[in-house]
Amino acid sequence: MYVTRKCSSCGHWAVFEFAISGGRASETCTHCRAAKRDLPWDRDARMAHAAYQAEFERLCEKHPELRELRRPGDHLKLAEE
Helix (H, G, I), strand (E, B) or coil at 64: helix
pLDDT (tens digit per residue) in 26-46 = 999 999 998 788 999 999 999
Question: Which amino acid belongs to residue 60?
Answer: C
Alpha-carbon distance of 47 to 41, in angstroms, equals 10
pTM of the model: 0.84
Which residues, given as ranges, of the chain have pLDDT below 70?
Answer: 80-81
At 36, give phi and psi (nearest 5°). Answer: -130, 135
Nearest Cα neighbor of 47 from 55, 35, 37, 59 is 55
